[in-house]
Amino acid sequence: MELQGMAPEVAKKFKYWQTRTIIASMIGYALFYFVRKNLSIAMPAMQEDLGITKGDLGLFLTLHGLLYGVSKFANGFIGDRVNARYFMVTGLVLSAACNILFGFSSAVLMFGIVWMLNGWFQGMGFPPCARLLTHWIPPTQLATKMSVWNTSHSIGAGLVVIVCGYIVSMGWRWCFWIPSIIALVGAAGLWFALRDTPRSVGLPELNQKTSGDEKEDTSAEFKRFVRKKVFGNPAIWVLAIANFFVYTVRYAVLDWGPTLLGEWKGISIQHAGWMVAAFEISGIVGMLVAGWATDRFFGGRGPRVCVICMALATVFIGLFWGVPHPPMWLAALLLGAAGFCIYGPQALVGIAAANIATKKAAATAVGFTGLFGYASTLVSGWGLGLLAQHYGWDYAIGGLILIAIMGTLIFLAAWSAKANGYDND
């Protein structure tokens, strides 16, 4: 059932809960970034205070990312079958607990173990959101509204690097303790604000079938559906592989940006935090424009917009790398332009995967593409850290440009993919 087919009073109540769900889940997911991307600001101080190498820090990032990707995939499958409200709150609380413990640690081994655990709990953030959004937003509006929702990535990552850029003057450990407190308060708010599906508040489900078809799938039926819509779907595989390259570029800037700007450009940690935030803030606009353009000009075919965005991101990263000794404003402008472009594909991959897999397998599809995305930390974390440590940042950024070119070419393979999978359900 679409909103147009509902009685006026039912449609009004549905829109209220739809808006409430979008806003609450946006805030909640932004808070997951508060207890994940705080490490990037703390890294330079940790190197100085504890003598940790870039290789060690890169290994933390890689192990965290790999566990995050596996968790996002595994929890995506679980997330399609359980209450999204309970699942999301539990993940945020456990992630905050890991950050508190990290702040009290000093041994490299303990840092690695705790940050790996944090990676697993972080993977409990997005799958419940995918379930919530595909149950509350019609497929014809998903690209536009989910692009608005996806600004939570940039809001969370941008705010935490700005806040921690000032907190770090109190000591790097506070970059973990204060965001944890904020996350715990937010988790309590999520508990009261979220509900799982329209049915849980007495509303009709979107795309609801006739009463004769209204029955829960058995486990075997659900697995067959997932195999068909996700694992046996070439379009999902192309999106997943392309996501590897999108996230390599994105996380290279988020994780290494403050360190790179300080060592390569001689910029203070506070200014570096603002410049990485510019990358994120521009990404918010990029997501909104990409989502709007997908629905308005490309008939919901997100991969076509991804090709254009990824190609432009390559150009701006190349300019950032190639312009010798740019003034701070120009470096910030080029980073912002790259962020504007890279966040279009970052948002649209999940939207396209959710639409192609349909709401029944949306969390699984998003988790699957996320698995490839976070496998990118092998390159953006450990790989880039070792490259910068042994050969310098020029070589590291040059490698990033090659990654962006490869991502553009892979998105081309999904150019002809359908907008959604509902027509042949």
The dihedrals phi and psi of 323, each to the nearest 5 degrees, come to -80, 115
Structure confidence at residue 207 (pLDDT): 66
Q: Could you tell me if 24 and 202 are in contact, meaning their C-beta atoms sit under 8 angstroms apart?
A: no
- The kind and range of the H/E element at 328 are helix 328-357
Residues 6+ apart with CB under 8 A from 77: 226, 363, 364, 367
Q: What is the Cα–Cα distance from 111 to 174, expressed in whole angstroms?
A: 15
Query: 18 is written with which tokens?
Result: 């739809």
Residues 6+ apart with CB under 8 A from 198: 14, 17, 135, 136, 204, 205, 206
Residue 11, burial from CB neighbour count under 10 angstroms (0-12, 13-18, 19+): middle
Reported as a single tens digit per residue, the pLDDT across 255-267 is: 888 888 888 777 7
Q: How many CB atoms lie within 10 A of CB 2?
A: 14
The sign of the CA dihedral 43, 45, 46, 51 is positive
Residues 6+ apart with CB under 8 A from 340: 282, 283, 285, 286, 289
Residue from 252, 401, 396, 266 nearest 331 by CA: 266
For residue 1, the SS3 value is: coil
Q: Could you tell me if 397 and 321 are in contact, meaning their C-beta atoms sit under 8 angstroms apart?
A: yes
Confidence of residue 212 (pLDDT cuts 50, 70, 90): very low
Structure confidence at residue 1 (pLDDT): 53
Q: How many CB atoms lie within 10 A of CB 299?
A: 11
Q: What is the Cα–Cα distance from 321 to 108, expressed in whole angstroms?
A: 32
Reported as a single tens digit per residue, the pLDDT across 401-410 is: 999 999 999 9
Query: 296 is written with which tokens?
Result: 């308005």
Structure confidence at residue 337 (pLDDT): 94
Please say if the pLDDT value at position 368 is more than 90: no
Confidence of residue 327 (pLDDT cuts 50, 70, 90): confident
Torsion of the alpha carbons at 278, 284, 286 and 290, rounded to the nearest 10: 170
Residue 245, burial from CB neighbour count under 10 angstroms (0-12, 13-18, 19+): buried
Q: Which residue has the tokens 């790259």?
A: 338
Q: Which residue has the tokens 């490698």?
A: 399
Query: 64 is written with which tokens?
Result: 């965290």
Q: Which residue has the tokens 């990654």?
A: 403
Residue from 138, 202, 131 nearest 4 by CA: 138
Structure confidence at residue 425 (pLDDT): 47
Reported as a single tens digit per residue, the pLDDT across 67-84 is: 887 887 788 778 777 888
Fold of 16-197+224-424: Growth Hormone; Chain: A; (1.20.1250)
- Mean per-residue pLDDT for 141-158? 81
Query: 417 is written with which tokens?
Result: 């993919």
Residue-averaged pLDDT of the chain: 85
Please say if the pLDDT value at position 24 is more than 90: yes
Lowest mean pLDDT among 49-53, 123-127, 136-140: 136-140
